[in-house]
Structures are given as structure tokens and as C-alpha cells.
Amino acid sequence: MQLFVNTLVEFSLISLGAIWLYFMYALVRSFYLTLASFFSVGGYILYLVFKNMGYIFIGILAGGIAGGVVAILLERFLFKHFYKKNSSSLVLLMVYFSVFLLFSNLIGLIFGNDMKFLGVSPKVISLPGVNITLPQVVLIVSSLGFLILISAVYNFSKIGLKIRALGQDGELAQVLGIDIYKYRYAVATASGFSLGVLGAIYTWDIGMEPYLSFSILLYSMVAFIVGGVNSFLGAVAGSFIIAFLKNVLSLLIPIYFVDVIVYSTLFVMLIFRPYGLFGDKIRVEES
């Protein structure tokens, strides 16, 4: 039972990153590594709010809002210029990664590079065969809530229909009058808010340091690729597979070997099934 709970916590942590990588890849055809910055921003905003006001849930909400604001500002005043120049996927990748490094270094200058903690011990909920902290419960509920909301919007709304159209054939969709910038802004802002919330909750439970968010996003990226870069279901399923694999391995081998094996699954997948478990082989070859 504890294995299932640990897997659910890990899944809740990496699945949103995988989902937003899926959406942004569909809209920009590159890996949106700046997502890690939104996670960090949320964590440090909670740290500031709690240290100055003592409120955790207000800090979590503030972290989400800050993540969303940072996302829309970056899209509107920086990334848009590269989109208008039709920059290549590699150029965009370098821009996204550079922005993450910039944010991480700024955070390090302001807060220091050491791990920041709230200084309170999270409440532990003990059930027969299971121990889970209150922040982990909030993380699971929040992440699953976001996933359900995102899935509903994506599958049952006009917004989701237009995003799918842009992902399948962006040029044709724009010819038909769909404003791709509008939907990039919307998806980026939503990703910033949700990941800011998760980053704040994670800080409440574990703590935060400037580069920690990127290691979490790497797991999301592995899940995204393993599941299939053009599959919404693949991003979710891949996240659960990676979360389960990580927790099972941590019971069997030393923890410092876990990352090696998890990342190795990515290389195996790229060699034998490069379009992922749920990806469309034809579309990947055409893209």
C-alpha cells in the first residue's frame, strides 16, 4: 500500500509537467524547459509569504499567481519575438533553457543556493500500512484536480478543439483564423499557475533550491517522451509508468542508481519505439 501511495505522490509531482510539455510541444515544436522556472517561482513565493506572514495556503495561491504572471510576461515580451522569426526548435530549446538558467541564478543571488525550508514539520497522517504527509495529500488532490480540469477542457471544449487543430496542422489552423499566439499565451499562463501551485506545495513538504525544479522536469520529460510526444494519454500514462518504476527501483537498489536506470528507459525507448508507447508513428515521421 505504501508503494502505491508513494507512486501516486510521484505521479502527482511529474504528470503536470509532462502534460504541459505535451501542450507546448504541440504549439511550438520544442521542449518548453522554462516550465521548471514556474515551479521554482511558486516555491520561493510561498517561502517569502510564510516567512513574512505565516500563511501557507495564501502562499500557495500567491505562488500559482506569480507563476502564471511570469509565464505570460515571458510569452508576451520575449518568446513571441522568436516565434515571429520562425526560430527553429533548437533555437527555441536554447532560449527556454537559457531563461531557466537566468531565473535559477537570480534566485540563487537573492535567496542563496542552499535548500530553503519553511521551518515547520508537516503533519504526518498514519493509516494501517501507510504514512503520508499533509502536503503530499494536498499535492495529490491539487494535481489530480488540475489533470481532470485540463482533460475536460482539452476534450470537451472549443478551446481544446482549437489547440488540437493547432497541434495537428498549425499553418492550416492559422489560415482558418485561429490565433496561435492567443492559445500559446493561454497554455503558458495555465502551466505557470498550476506548476507554481505545485512548486509551493513541494516547498511546504520538502523545501526548495534554485536548480531542484529542473531535475523534477527531467522526469516529466522522460515520461512525456516514453508515453509519446503527440499523445495526451501518453503523457499521463508515461508519468505513472516512470513514477511506479522509480519507486519500485528505490526498494530494490541504492537510490543513486535509480536515476541511471530511469533515464536509460528513455534511450531504450528512443531506439526501439521513438514515437513512444501511445504516440502516432506516422505523424512523428512526418513532423
Q: Cβ distance 43 to 213 under 8 Å?
A: yes
Strand partners, 154: none
pLDDT digits (tens, 9 = 90+) for 122-151: 889 988 889 999 999 999 999 999 999 999
How far is 220 from 205, CA to CA, in rounded Å?
19
Q: pTM to 2 decimals?
A: 0.93
Nearest one of 117, 148, 157, 123 to 137, comparing CA atoms: 123
Give yes or no for residue 157 having a pLDDT over 70: yes
Q: Is 285 part of any domain? A: no
Average of per-residue pLDDT values in the chain = 92
pLDDT digits (tens, 9 = 90+) for 58-74: 999 999 999 999 999 99
Give the pLDDT confidence score for residue 139 in this predicted structure: 97
Q: Is 163 part of any domain? A: yes
Q: Is 32 part of any domain? A: yes
Give yes or no for residue 287 having a pLDDT over 50: no
**Residue 131 CB neighbour total at 10 angstroms:** 12
What's the structural domain count of the chain?
A: 1
Instruction: Give residue 284's pLDDT band: very low, low, confident or very high (50, 70, 90).
Output: very low
Angle between helices 232-252 and 255-272 (to 10 degrees): 140
Give yes or no for residue 286 having a pLDDT over 60: no
Instruction: Give residue 99's pLDDT band: very low, low, confident or very high (50, 70, 90).
Output: very high
| Residue 28 burial (C-beta neighbours within 10 Å; 0-12, 13-18, 19+) | buried
Q: Is 264 part of any domain? A: no
pLDDT digits (tens, 9 = 90+) for 16-30: 999 999 999 999 999
Q: Is 64 part of any domain? A: yes
Give the pLDDT confidence score for residue 113 in this predicted structure: 93
Radius of gyration of the chain, Cα coordinates, nearest whole angstrom: 19
Q: Is 246 part of any domain? A: no
Domain of residue 201, residue span: 2-211
Q: Is 46 part of any domain? A: yes
Q: Is 45 part of any domain? A: yes
